[in-house]
Each structure stands twice: as C-alpha cells, then as structure tokens.
Chains A and B, each alone.
Chain A
Amino acid sequence: EVRLVESGGGLIQPGRSLRLACAASGFTFEDHAMHWVRQRPGKGLEWVSGITWGSGEKEYADSVEGRFTISRDNAKNSLYLQMNSLRPEDTALYYCARDNTVAVAGPIDHWGQGTLVIVSS
C-alpha cells in the first residue's frame, strides 16, 4: 500500500523558515517524481513544486520561486520542502504527492493527508 506521511507543519511567524518532510513507503520511491501541492483554508488546490526521480529537475510555482526549495533523499525514501521568508498567504495544508512517472510529467496518483502550515504573528 502506498503511504505518504507529511510532517513539519505548525504555526510560524512571517519571515521565518520551516522545513516540511514526507516519508514514503509501499512503493519504489526512486521510480517516481514527487510534488508538493497546497490548499489554503476553504480554497482550491495549488501546485507548489515538483522534482524528478533523481533530482535532476526541480520546478516551482511563481508564488514560491526563490523562497521554497524542494529536495529528496532516495536512500531515505523522503521528500522535503524548505520554506523561507514565509508569508501569511503561504498558510495552507501542504500535501505530498506522487507522480505517476519518473519525470514531472504527471498525473498525481497518490496523495498524503497533508500537514498544516499557519503563518501568523
């Protein structure tokens, strides 16, 4: 069974940093690209970032480019999102999600339960 378990969310002040992690199990992690997708409270889905199987390519939404960094450790079956210079508009539930392919070529076929990030003073 595919499992994606996010962690690292919480309440953080504007301008500070936070690192999210996603522990993957139940599949061969290095056979899949991975993504972060967020959902603001009561709103729709927003793709944040994606990374290919070997970290050769990393893609970002304009809203987070230059502030967020996606990475992965295939030896640890883990995905990460380093979030710097956080803003109130980054408040959201952050989902770890699995790509159906090795590239950032979709679709997303499995999602975690999400970790909530609240940016507020």
Chain B
Amino acid sequence: DIVMTQSPDSLAVSLGERATISCKSSQSVLYNSNKRNFVSWYHQKPGQPPKLLIYWASTRQPGVPERFSGGESGTDFTLTINSLQPEDVGVYYCQQYLSTPWTFGQGTKVEIK
C-alpha cells in the first residue's frame, strides 16, 4: 500500500498569514500516461464531510478560492493557504488515488493563532 505521511500534525497561523502543509508518498503516484500525480487535498470542518480542494496535485477544484494552491516535487507534495481566513480552520488531508487501496494522510489540523 502507498503510505501518505503529512507534516505537521497541527499548526497555528495568524489571520492573513501563510499556512503550508506537507505530504510525502512512500512511492511514486505519477500516472505515466498523462504525467500527472494522482494526489488530492481535502478540507474537513468539524461536523462536516470533507471538501475537495486540489486534485492532480496542483489543479484547483472549481469554486475553491485562489489562496489555496498545490505544489509537487517527486513524491513530495504541499498545500499552501495564502492569507489564512477564519473559515479555513479544520483538518486537511492529502490522498493518493493512483492505486487501490486509496490512502489518506493522517491529517493536519489548522487553527488560528
């Protein structure tokens, strides 16, 4: 199974500042046919289901604010939230969907400092 490891487990950021979450896959999640990394990012607020933010490692889902961006380098992936807003608190998960079983990172809790 592909293991997705996120860091940090939690972070506190001031409103308007940048938050960066890292995710590392235990093996390549690159689909050779289209040269895309099959990695997605989700945001889950308390008591709500997850919401898709980013797919193919760096493609923003329609309707997601531009302050969210995804980065990729080999098996290292990042989610950056520029200018953190109050509604951005919650838990963020990375996920690989290249091969089953699909696997998620353990989650990163983002709070306001």
Contact with A along B32-58 (1 / 0, CB 8 A): 000000101010100001111001000
Residues of B within 8 A of A61 (CB): 101
Bound Cα distance A113, B51 (Å): 11
* A54 lies within 8 A of chain B by Cβ: no
* B80 lies within 8 A of chain A by Cβ: no
The reply to whether B49 and A109 contact each other, CB–CB distance below 8 Å, is no
The answer to whether A109 and B61 touch (CB under 8 A), given A46-B104, A47-B103, is yes
* A11 lies within 8 A of chain B by Cβ: no
Bound Cα distance A23, B44 (Å): 22
Residues of A within 8 A of B52 (CB): 107-110
The reply to whether A59 and B55 contact each other, CB–CB distance below 8 Å, is no
Q: Which residues of B (91-113) have their CB < 8 Å from a CB of A?
A: 91, 93, 95, 97, 100-107
Q: Which residues of A (17-56) have their CB < 8 Å from a CB of B?
A: 35, 44-47, 50
The answer to whether A50 and B102 touch (CB under 8 A), given A44-B93, A112-B49, is yes
Residues of A within 8 A of B100 (CB): 47, 50, 59-60, 104
The reply to whether A95 and B49 contact each other, CB–CB distance below 8 Å, is yes
Contact with B along A97-110 (1 / 0, CB 8 A): 00010001111111
* A62 lies within 8 A of chain B by Cβ: yes
Residues of B within 8 A of A50 (CB): 100, 102
The answer to whether A111 and B55 touch (CB under 8 A), given A47-B104, A59-B100, A106-B97, is no
Bound Cα distance A44, B44 (Å): 10
The reply to whether B95 and A107 contact each other, CB–CB distance below 8 Å, is yes
Bound Cα distance A59, B102 (Å): 10
B interface vs A, CB < 8 Å?
1, 38, 40, 42, 44, 49-52, 55, 61, 91, 93, 95, 97, 100-107
6 closest Cβ pairs, A-B complex: A106-B97, A111-B49, A107-B40, A47-B102, A107-B55, A59-B100
